[in-house]
């Protein structure tokens, strides 16, 4: 009997350890700083995953996919094509950069049911691409349900630089918001010393401002999590909805 109880306890520990990794909506462009002599058509990969551990999850067709540039928002949903990221269903789009400035690409997914957390997850995910030497608009607030408004450019950052952003929900700053930070371990070469270090967790200050310095180059995801003021039904029961404001920032080697 003791042996059975011990095995059951170990199974529960493994279950919770396996589900502890943070979820991230991901929008990753092939180039986030497009110069005059570069290929002006970029590819954007849209996915849903645990980026450090390279564990993918299915991303069904997003509810919306847009780009904001010079105060205008364009619907890009029809440009999406089915693909795979981390061996899971994902989406891909090509976009031609035509004018200078900052382009903010935003994905809103359909609600994802996460049984391990007994809630739905919606991550409003964005990344910013700068073009042709101009970066006007990099700090533009897009009016999303929840978003991270950057206080430092979300591109052209060296590793070790400090990145700051304001967490907003319904247009208002969220005091002391919890922000999860994770590295996109694309080539699988990084290994966290312990599970505690797979996801870094920080908190914003009283004005909703958070600060983080990336220790090495590559793509880093910042996800500010809040609970929605509404619920969705799952199998006839009302369930909470986790709203994530996600921004992806690439840090460069010198």
The answer to the question of residue 14 being in a domain is no
Q: Is residue 174 part of a domain?
A: yes
| Residue 15 within any structural domain of the chain | no
The pLDDT value given to residue 21:
65
146: closest CA among 164, 121, 128, 182? 121
Neighbouring residues of 11: CB distance < 8 A, sequence distance ≥ 6:
none
Instruction: Please choose, from the candidates 158, 212, 202, 154, the residue with its C-alpha nearest in 3D space to the C-alpha of residue 180.
Output: 202
- Flag whether 37 is in a domain: yes
Give residue 5's pLDDT band: very low, low, confident or very high (50, 70, 90).
very low
CB 221 within 8 A of CB 188: no
The token pair that represents 184 in the structure block: 């996109």
User: Could you list the residue range(s) of the whole structural domain that residue 142 is in?
Assistant: 22-252
Percent of the chain with pLDDT over 70: 92
Across 22-46, average pLDDT: 95
| pLDDT, tens digit (0-9, with 9 covering 90-100), for 220-250 | 999 999 999 999 999 999 999 999 999 999 9
Of the candidates 184, 151, 155, the one whose C-alpha atom is nearest the C-alpha of residue 167 is: 151
- Reported confidence tier of residue 12, pLDDT bands at 50, 70, 90: very low
Task: Please indicate, yes or no, if residue 1 is contained in any of the structural domains.
Answer: no
pTM of the model: 0.90
Q: What tens digit of pLDDT does each residue of 143-197 get?
A: 999 999 999 999 999 999 999 999 999 999 999 999 999 999 999 999 999 999 9
Domains contained in the chain, number: 1
9 belongs to a structural domain = no
In degrees, rounded to 5, the angle at the alpha carbon of residue 236 between the alpha carbons of residues 18 and 125 is: 50
Please give the pLDDT value at position 9.
37
């Amino acid at each position: 009997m003791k042996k059975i109880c011990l095995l059951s306890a170990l199974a529960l520990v493994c279950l919770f350890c396996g589900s502890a990794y943070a979820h991230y909506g991901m929008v990753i462009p092939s180039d986030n700083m497009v110069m005059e002599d570069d290929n002006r058509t970029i590819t954007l990969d849209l996915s849903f995953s645990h980026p450090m551990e390279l564990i993918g999850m299915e991303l069904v067709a997003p509810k919306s996919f847009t780009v904001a540039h010079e105060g205008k928002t364009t619907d890009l949903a029809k440009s999406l094509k089915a693909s795979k990221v981390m061996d899971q269903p994902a989406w891909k789009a090509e976009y031609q950069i035509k004018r200078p400035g900052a382009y903010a690409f935003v994905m809103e997914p359909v609600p994802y049911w996460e049984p391990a957390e007994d809630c739905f997850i919606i991550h409003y995910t964005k990344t910013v691409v700068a073009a042709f030497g101009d970066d006007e608009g990099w700090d533009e607030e897009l009016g999303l349900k929840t978003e991270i408004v950057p206080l430092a450019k979300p591109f052209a950052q060296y590793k070790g630089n400090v990145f700051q952003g304001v967490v907003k929900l319904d247009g208002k700053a969220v005091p002391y918001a919890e922000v999860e930070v994770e590295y996109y371990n694309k080539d699988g070469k990084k290994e966290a010393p312990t599970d505690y270090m797979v996801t870094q967790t920080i908190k914003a200050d009283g004005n909703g401002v958070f600060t983080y310095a990336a220790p090495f180059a590559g793509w880093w995801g910042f996800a500010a999590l809040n609970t929605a003021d509404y619920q969705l039904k799952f199998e006839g029961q009302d369930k909470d909805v986790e709203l994530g404001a996600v921004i992806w920032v690439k840090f460069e080697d010198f």
